[in-house]
Structures are given as C-alpha cells and as structure tokens.
Structure 1
Amino acid sequence: MAGAKPEKPPLDLVHQNAIHVETIRKEQRSQKLHTQFSISPHKKLHVMSDKPMSKKVQEVDEEDAAFIKAFHTARLEPTKKYTHPQTESQEIGWISTPLIVSDRSDRRLHFHRRSSEVTKYMETASRFSK
C-alpha cells in the first residue's frame, strides 16, 4: 500500500502513566473549588401553602438580602442588567431612547387630522352613499 502510515508501537505502562499524570495536571489547573452554594435566582420558586383546614401555624424564615437582590436582578430587562448587548440579537433596539425630543405642537413632524371644505363634503357624501 502506497502512502500508508506505519503502525505505532503500543505504549508501555511508563508512557501511559506519564500521559495520565499530564492530563490530571491540566485538569487541576482549570478546576475551581466552590464552597458557597445558594438557590439559583434564574429558576422559579414554587411555595406550597399548608392545607386550608390545618391548625399548624406556618413558620416564617428570615429573608436573605443577597438572595432577594440576586433574584430581582435576574428578572430585570437586559438593558438594565448589562451596559452593552451580550448577543448580536440584542444590538437591535438596545438604544431605545428617541433621537429628538417629541414635540406634539411641531407641525413639521406631526400631521394631525384636519378637515377642510372638501374633506367635509366628501365625508358627508360617503355617509349618504352607503
């Protein structure tokens, strides 16, 4: 066979162990130890109430301020959460403030409905033709 690669000799245990040690060392470099856990603010919480006829009084736990803040932050619009768009789709409409101040009395930009003699005549004519 022309162009066939020669077979590699099988690795012995020393080489396999060296590859394994290098792999573990690379994995440990990128690992991060997490010691603080909390409920994800991105998931909805379903609080179940007691049965209506139960005599047991429900105990109220103290609210965790950090969790409440994270919960409300997760529910904000993207423009309030981030300073810049995170995806290409968010770039469309990210800046939603108008370019000029809207002035309703400016006749150049706002064309209000007006009536003249001709429009009044055509309006009455269209009412009678029906």
Structure 2
Amino acid sequence: MVHQNAILVETIRKENRTQKLFTNFSINPFTQSYALTGKVNSIHDALMEAGEEDETMKRAIAQSRAPPTRKYIRPQTESQEIGWISQPLLTDQDHNDRRLFHNRQKTEIVKIKEKEWELNPAGSSRK
C-alpha cells in the first residue's frame, strides 16, 4: 500500500508540473460557425441585432480563412514547401533570348503531314 501511494503521489506531482490551467476561452476560428436563433426576450440578442460586431472575432475568422501563404511567413510542413513561392522568377520574358525561350519548332516530317492534311482532310489517316 505504501509503495502504491508513493507512485500515485509521484504521478500526480508530475502531472501538475506539466499541466497548464487555461482561463481564456474563445471560439475556434477554424471551424465553421452557424447562425442560431437566440433566446426569446433576450437583451443580448437585441444588442446584436442593432449592429454590434466583435472586431477581434472578425479578424480571427478572416485570418483562419486566409491561404497559408498569407497566414505564415514560412511553410509549416514539408508538404507546404512545394509551391510555397508561386510567383514566377522572371516577370518580363524576352522572346528573342534563346537561353530562356524555346519556341516550338516543326520538323520536315510535320510540315509534310500538315500539307497532306490541308489538301486531303477526309482521305488521309491521322496516326
């Protein structure tokens, strides 16, 4: 009995060391809230109908609905690293620069087949 009580006391002491008591509660902004009708003859509902809005709650909801690139500075997971920077590196592309711009080129075989299809669209077999 003494050993079991000592183990119980040690377990409770460890739990009390790691636990925190939270007294500041709020609505989870990441879940969708639905509008519910209020109580009959409630003063609080009458004030809400007059146009009173909680600005901090509106900001929390707006931030929860924002894409991750606007919420966080850096990716939070490895999966978010792919595509995190989605803007192209070069904004003005010079189409004359052959290092960066590879235009579609037609070979002689493609040109011959295109001419054949232009002359006889129904008779040629496209393979």
Give TM-score, length-normalised by structure 1: 0.64
Instruction: Give the structure 1 partner of residue 60 of structure 2.
Output: 70
Which residues of structure 1 form unaligned runs of 5+?
Answer: 1-12, 50-56, 114-118
Amino acid at match of 2:34: H
Give 1 or 2: higher helix fraction: 2
Instruction: Give the structure 2 partner of residue 129 of structure 1.
Output: 120
Residues 101-116 of structure 1 aligned to structure 2 (within 5 Å) = 101-103=91-93, 105-106=95-96, 108=98, 109=101, 111=103
**How far apart are residue 97 of structure 1 and its match?**
2.3
Amino acid at match of 2:6: A
Higher relative contact order (CA 8 A, sep 6+): 1
Instruction: Give the structure 1 partner of residue 108 of structure 2.
Output: none
On the 8 A contact 1:104/1:110 being kept in 2, the answer is no
Amino acid at match of 1:73: Q
Amino acid at match of 1:27: E
On the 8 A contact 1:42/1:71 being kept in 2, the answer is yes
Q: Secondary structure at the match of 1:17?
A: helix
CA, structure 1 residues 106+77, in 2 after alignment: closer, same or farther (shift >3 Å)? farther
Instruction: Give the structure 1 partner of residue 78 of structure 2.
Output: 88
1:19-59 deviations in whole A, cap 9, x for unaligned? 1111111111111111121111011122257xxxxxxx982
Percent of aligned pairs with the same amino acid: 47
Amino acid at match of 2:73: T
Which residues of structure 2 form unaligned runs of 5+?
Answer: 38-45, 106-110, 122-127
Give TM-score, length-normalised by structure 2: 0.66
Q: How far apart, CA to CA, are the structure 1 residues paired with 2:26 and 2:52? A: 15
Cα-Cα RMSD: 3.1
Larger Rg: 1
Q: Is 1:29 matched up with 2:20?
A: no
